[in-house]
Amino acid sequence: MTQSQDVVIYNVENHIATITLNDPKSLNAFSTLMKSAIISALQEAEADADVRVIILQGAGGNFSSGGDIKEMLSDGLEREALSEKLKSMVEGAGEVSLLLRKIHKPIIAKLEGAVAGAGMNLALTCDFRITADNAKFVQAFVHIGLVPDAGGIYLLNELVGPAKTTELVMLGDKISAKDMADLNLVNQVVSSDELDEAVLKLANRLTQLPATALTTMKHLINTHAYMGLNEALDMEVHQQARLAKTDDFIEGITAFIEKRKPVYNK
């Protein structure tokens, strides 16, 4: 079964649901429209008893460039309007992060190209991450005067500890696929040509394992490692709305618009 929802393509085959972020012109930037479509697809996969594993991927050779800057600025540069728009967008990213954990079926993030900002953090929320060696990861928020959303600081702190988290989010440098593997932030690095095969191999292996045991394991992992995610997401919404009114953000986003200070390609 294949179903298109414009910015998201949903497909189920052999007990595997594949959810594809499908806006390659923006490098699959995370918009409100895409958020709604991802949630719909995830809920469909959760409800379908035939689905045992979920793959989350991006179209066009990139996973996601992060938040949709065009949407962020769609109500202009007036500070209150920016604050409200960012608040809504950060809430949306948080909804997806929570759902990725709430669904107790294993979720594999298939990563290549741009894996930036909210895109990186949504990938960190998944259970498994397989990446092509051409992937570039970045917590780009600092370059426009914001803090990570979609649970970024919380997730990194759980996975690599506060010292490395501080480095990654405060400096906002690009991270290679190899560096991600060295940090144990991805499960496997393969060439671009091998990515489809590697992801499908893991997905098929998971479909053969006892579903109830996997569901219970994810529930226990959530209980031990992710109990604070909801609170962290609430804090992000508050802080992002506040930072949207600052001179740092206005200057940073203006520089981005004028192409003087690219966020992803820095």
Whether 24 maps to a domain, the answer reads yes
The CB density around residue 97, as the number of other CB atoms within 10 Å, is: 28
Whether 202 maps to a domain, the answer reads no
Per the structure, the count of domains in the chain is 1
pLDDT, tens digit, 9 for 90 and up, residues 133-152: 999 999 999 999 999 999 99
Quickly state the pLDDT bin for 3 (edges 50, 70, 90).
Answer: very low
Q: How distant, in Å, are the alpha carbons of 42, 119, 122, 141, 235 from that of 97?
A: 11, 10, 6, 17, 14
Q: What does the pLDDT read at residue 75?
A: 78
- What is the rounded average pLDDT of the residues 28-55? 97
Mean pLDDT lowest among 5-14, 78-87, 202-211, 254-263? 254-263
Cα separation, 105 vs 224, in Å, equals: 17
Whether 165 maps to a domain, the answer reads yes
Mean pLDDT lowest among 14-18, 48-52, 232-236, 247-251? 247-251
Whether 82 maps to a domain, the answer reads yes
Quote the percentage of the chain above a pLDDT of 90.
Answer: 83
Whether 18 maps to a domain, the answer reads yes
Whether 139 maps to a domain, the answer reads yes
Whether 1 maps to a domain, the answer reads no
Contact 54, 42 (CB under 8 A): yes
Say if residue 74's pLDDT is above 90. Answer: no
Q: What does the pLDDT read at residue 64?
A: 97
Cα separation, 240 vs 80, in Å, equals: 12
| Phi/psi of residue 77, nearest 5 degrees | -100, 5
The CB density around residue 234, as the number of other CB atoms within 10 Å, is: 12
pLDDT, tens digit, 9 for 90 and up, residues 84-136: 988 999 999 999 999 999 999 999 999 999 999 999 999 999 999 999 999 99
Whether 200 maps to a domain, the answer reads no
Structural domain harbouring 44: 8-193+210-258
CATH number, position 254: 3.90.226.10
pTM, whole model, 2 decimals?
0.92
Find where tokens 């929570």 sit.
98
